[in-house]
């Protein structure tokens, strides 16, 4: 999961007055990703695969950007990343079985 500092750097926000909002968006992004893909933050934290961790982080950044700036628009790139993360997650879960 990305940190408040990482999210602020990504959004290019340098003031602290929106920290609570951004922290809320970070937490919301975790719930949205789990709902869209089935991938939990617990799985990401325990995962040793840097590729899936990087993908999760990028999805979080794009999602937080959308929630912060583009509240009413659908992001096709984000939908594609959801599908990619879900497919990678399912492939890894199948390999564990």
Q: What's the Cα-to-Cα distance from 25 to each of 47, 79, 82, 88, 96, rounded to whole Å?
A: 23, 18, 17, 24, 32
DSSP structure class, residue 10 = H
Asked if residues 92 and 49 have their Cβ atoms less than 8 Å apart, the reply is: yes
What's the pLDDT at 25?
95
3-state secondary structure of 37: helix
What's the pLDDT at 5?
97
| CA 56 – CA 50 distance, rounded (Å) | 10
What's the pLDDT at 72?
60
pTM comes to 0.76
The residues of the chain scoring below 70 in pLDDT are 71-74
The first and second tokens of residue 53, run together, are 């961790």
CA 10 to chain CA centroid, Å, is: 13
What's the pLDDT at 39?
92
């Amino acid at each position: 999961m990305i940190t408040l500092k990482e999210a602020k750097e990504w959004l290019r926000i340098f003031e602290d007055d929106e920290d609570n909002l951004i922290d809320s968006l970070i937490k919301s992004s975790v719930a949205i990703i789990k709902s869209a893909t089935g991938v939990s933050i617990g799985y990401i934290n325990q995962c040793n695969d840097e590729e899936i961790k990087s993908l999760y982080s990028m999805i979080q950044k794009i999602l937080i950007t959308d929630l912060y700036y583009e509240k009413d628009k659908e992001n096709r790139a984000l939908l594609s990343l959801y599908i990619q993360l879900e497919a990678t997650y399912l492939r890894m879960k199948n390999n564990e079985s």
